[in-house]
Amino acid sequence: MITFFLINILAWLATASLSLLLWVAIQPGEIFGAWQKTLRNLDISGSPWHKLLGGCKLCTGHFLTVLSYIAFAAFTWHTGLFPFEWWHLSTWYLVYVPTGAVITFLFLTKILKS
């Protein structure tokens, strides 16, 4: 059980760090700065993907947290580290994603100070 919670904390921190790295990398003048043109086109077309793929810190962080939950759930389930029944995966989603999204948002706002 302790291993599960340690992996959980590690997954939250890894998601937040990766989100921060990706957020910085897609800014103009950075390595993936050309992504801003794609975001602009998505915004002009009215696509909801605009916010999820880099148009909003909170939305992007939440989207990446959901993706990391899928990887986390698959990893812990297939390695036998998930200590509960399989149907608890949907319940654990309600703990993992909101907590991870808040941690990610704090990384994106407090560390960058912008």
pLDDT at 50 (0 to 100)? 92
Give the tens place of pLDDT for each residue, 81-107. 888 887 888 889 999 999 999 999 999
Within 13 Å of residue 8, how many CA atoms lie on the same side as its CB?
Answer: 18
pLDDT at 87 (0 to 100)? 80
Give the tens place of pLDDT for each residue, 33-92. 899 999 999 999 999 899 999 999 999 999 999 999 999 989 888 888 888 887 888 889
**Is 57:107 a contact under the CB 8 Å cutoff?**
no
Spatial separation of the C-alpha atoms in residues 75 and 82, rounded to whole Å: 9
Residue 39 region by backbone torsions, left for phi larger than 0, else alpha for psi between -120 and 50, else beta: alpha
pLDDT at 41 (0 to 100)? 94
Q: Is the pLDDT of residue 114 over 60?
A: no
Spatial separation of the C-alpha atoms in residues 80 and 77, rounded to whole Å: 5
Q: pTM of this prediction?
A: 0.87
